[in-house]
Amino acid sequence: MPPAGVQTPADRMVVEPALDKNQKPKQKNFHVPEPEEFEQAPLLIALVAYLNLALLVVFGYIRDFMRMFGYECTVGAKEWGNEGFPPLYHEFESFYHRNVYHRGSKLTAAPLAGVPGAEIDIIDREWGDASLSSFKLSDKKRRYLNVGSYNYLGFAQNDGYCSHQTVKEIRGNGCGLASPRKELGTHEIHRQLETLVAEFVGKESALVFGMGFATNSLNLPALVDEGCLLISDSLNHSCIILGARLSGAKIAVFKHNDVEDLEKVLKRHIVMGQTRTRRPWRKILICVEGLYSMEGTMCNLPAIVELKKKYKAYLFIDEAHSIGAMGETGRGVSEHFGVDTTDIDIMMGTFSKSFGACGGYIASSKVRIVVTFFKILGSTAILS
């Protein structure tokens, strides 16, 4: 028998009972976590890339030598009047910016001229003088395929259902609802959105916030504090790291997506207890992301759920990138792996990735949401 929460190949297909004898049962495909494999760059491509970088560095030193004798204009600002002080900026950082990054910025820092949909308009530029603002914009635009931004589902368009509904709601409610609730209160549209989010992710209740980053950084201190243990994946987003530091809880880190290392961290800290008193932890919270955007990996949710049940820990999952993009109906990694949402204590997500808006949410049981709500209302961070 496999451990609880772990899907076997035979369990990938779950069949619901048919409502009618002539009706075929509906089938859902549940995925099993696969070993992470990262494609290695071909040796030739890696050598060419390093060779180009080395050439830019060598020519950069030659150009700096020429600037000393006035043969070439100095790129960027210089520090004056600080004799005897250590330089404010690192020497190699300044060198790299003016000689390497600046020369390649024509290809990477192009100004946008439209909504980041499936295709995007880019303004053409011409190389100008030697200053940092050395690009001259032209009147021409080019349309490119967009593979480098959010708006996964294409909701943030100039035209369409979402755009029309947004204009309709703004005309009816105005733009002032973006202010903190402690200033303007909770409106009916807030309750409608929270009810819709809770139903969509499969939890009892939800709270919405105006900023996705703050949803993590301000909610984690309301969930754990001194005497608690927060266990974080080593590649968690900076908003989780900031929230963990603000909470005052003891922070432990496990290797990225390594369930075995997570169990070792759990065992070690449970045995040792709190740092000074050696008393048991008041609460243990495991924080992971559903989909890690920079690595393209998904958390091993079934195995993590098994561990949190085994060691009686709470699970906080950040689905900023996975909600709307993963699962048969876009309900995130829990649907993707077939994990019951009741096994996840706190579910967090944002509206800026798949849904083309801004803000974030946390979803959990009604009791946890009410406690979190009053803790946040009582803090000064609500006004930031």
User: What residues act catalytically?
Assistant: 293, 321, 353
Beta bridge partner(s), residue 97: none
Nearest to 59 by CA among 102, 100, 8: 100
What is the spatial distance between Cα 350 and Cα 356, in angstroms, rounded to a whole number?
Answer: 10
Note whether 348 and 183 are within 8 A (CB): no
- How does DSSP classify residue 380? G
- Decide: 89 and 53 in contact? Cβ < 8 Å: no
CB 319, CB 355: distance < 8 Å: no
Beta-bridge partner residues of 315 = 286
Contact 337, 299 (CB under 8 A): no
Q: What are phi and psi of 178, to 5 degrees?
A: -80, -10
**Bridge partners, residue 28, by sequence:** 14
Contact present, 280 and 228 (Cβ < 8 Å): no
Distance CA 91, CA 78 (A): 11
CB 349 within 8 A of CB 332: yes
Three-class SS of 251-283: EEEECCCCHHHHHHHHHHHHHHCCCCCCCCCCE
First to last CA, the chain: 51
357 SS3 class: coil
The first and second tokens of residue 344, run together, are 């996840």
CB 267 within 8 A of CB 312: no
Residues 6+ apart with CB under 8 A from 185: none
- Single out the residue of 4, 18, 52, 23 nearest to residue 308, CA to CA: 4
